[in-house]
Chains A and B, each alone.
Chain A
Amino acid sequence: MDTGNGSSEALIRFRLDSRSGVPAYRQLVDQVRHAVALGVLRTGDRLPSVREVVTQITINPNTVHRAYRELEVAGLAEGRPGLGTFVVERGKGGGHGPSEQQGALLAELRSWVAKAGSAGLDIEGVQALFAASLDEVAMPGETGETPHDEKRGRQ
């Protein structure tokens, strides 16, 4: 375990898409989530320090603090004073649904995408439909934000 070693190389590097319209803190949260989902980050891994993130991607330190706080609230990370912020076991603080349910949803979505493809929709078309339905159906978000706060892809 290199968890206590503050000087160790950061395991992930954040990047920001300033054109996406997605708030920066949300991008950071999403990137940690993806990394965890893809197995890039595992329990006990240290997230880059706020200073590292700030100087890497020139971002407001408060934004990084906020993203990490959000991850903590979501139970994905844990701040250890003086050491840093660490990825914790999922489920510890609730959050994501059971994985078997996720698998079913994924299978459903895949078949829907295949249907859309045979109906002649290209990737953009699929994305637009997906985004529009996300917009209209209120998701029970962890943050309890209003629907229009959700991300919106734009050209």
Chain B
Amino acid sequence: MTWFAWRTQRLQVLVAIGAVAVIAVMLVITGEAYRSAASSPLLTSPSCSTGLSLNCANAFSRLGQANRWVGYAHGLVLAFPALVGVLVGAPIVASEMAHGTNRLAWAQSVSRTRWLAVKLLLSGLAIAVAVGAIVPLLAWWAGASQISRLYPGDFDVTGTVVLGYTLFAFMLGAALGAVIQRVGWAIAAALGVFVGARLWVESFRAHLVAPVSVVLPNGIGPLYSATGLFSVDSPLARGWVLNQGYVALGRTTPAPGQTWTTEFERFQNCFLSISRPRAEALSQCSAQLKLHYVIQYQPLSHYWALQGAESAVFVGAALILLGVTVLAVRRWRT
């Protein structure tokens, strides 16, 4: 049975593994190119910090070039979980149904569930291992190419979510293949659903783990930013700022029925109407309107928790799709 499953899917699986290998090579090349370009001592030398020197311009242009290539690799990593998963997953049941070979397979003494389980397990495992193997590489690459880790778009190309997306796309392809029974249409439908699902999850990703809030005292806010708040080393700068705005004292989120921006105008009008030194005016408005400024964000320390949560969401969805596939295959009658 394992041999049979392998024999029918080896081409797809090998091509998928080949594609993952190509991406791995791409990651090593672009990551290393960026790392070496960024580590050029010239970039931090006084000649570059005081102005442009001859070599400095060269170093910057090298960095820019490397950054472009990192961008292409980024695009590839963003796209490949869907492509690999769907292209390997969709034909598993659909191509058998399209050719009628399932009637042969399901007339043997192996049960449909077992037949399906072996096929799904084999190719699922193969691509999971291949993609899983580049997860550490992605972490290195993200570090080497200095991409942020939490921000949307960057979060999606590092960590275990890549594996989660792949498994989800794989099961989505398999399930839609079993339902639609046509490989081409299953792929098209699966890609559409995948993009929709990814965007939808991205819309509530920030709340998969409770965010952290910073409360600025005495009315300090964007009208008078406290120095150091967004400096390079501050947790805020390395984190992912979700929301900010004036909210009622004692609260870290807007009052019911209000948004993060509701109170801003009121506070600004108050501030502009008081002709006193800034700090005093801010403090007075804060006390008068009973407002303080809150910045809600996900700190970098939540990275793995967020990764775990989002991976779990997609793996869970993949398990549901597994159930759907099993059901579709068991219930199939011409």
Chains A, B in direct contact (C-beta < 8 Å)? no
| B residues in contact (CB < 8 Å) with A | none
